[in-house]
Chains A and B, each alone.
Chain A
Amino acid sequence: MIILARLEHWREQGAISPEQQSHLASLCRGEPFSLFLELNILLYAGVLAFVAGLGWTVTTWSQQLGDVLVLAVLSTILAACFWYCFSRAPAWSLAQTPAPSAVFDYVLYLGSLIWCIELAYLENRLHVLSGQWDFYLLATAVFFFFLAYRFDNRFVLSLALSSLAGWCGLTISHWPSHQHAAYRQYSLLYCLLVGLGGALLQRRGVKAHFFGTYLNIVANVLFWAVLSGVFKREGYGVWLPALLLVCGTSLAWGLTRRQFVFVAYSAVYGYVGVSAILIRSISDFTFVLTYFVFTAVAMVVGLVLIARRFGRPA
Chain B
Amino acid sequence: MNRAATEILLIRAGALAASLVLFGGFVALAGADPLDVFYQMYRGSFGTSFSVQNTLLRAAPLMLTALCTAIPARLGLMMIGGEGALVIGGLAAIAAGLGCASSMPPLVVTTVMAIVGFCIGGGWVALSGAMRAYRGVNETISSLLLNYIAIALLNHFVEGPMRDPTSLNKPSTRAIPAEDMLQSIPGLEVHWGLVFGVVACIVAHVLMMRSVFGFGAAIAGGNLRAGMLCGLPVRRMMIIASFLGGGAAGLAGMAEVAAVHGRANASLVTGYGYTGILVSFMARHEPLAIIPVALLFGGIGASNGLLQRVDNLPDATVSVLQGILFVVILASETLYGRFAFFRPREERVVVRPVADATPEVT
Question: Are the chains A and B members of one assembly?
Answer: no
- B residues with a Cβ closer than 8 A to A are none
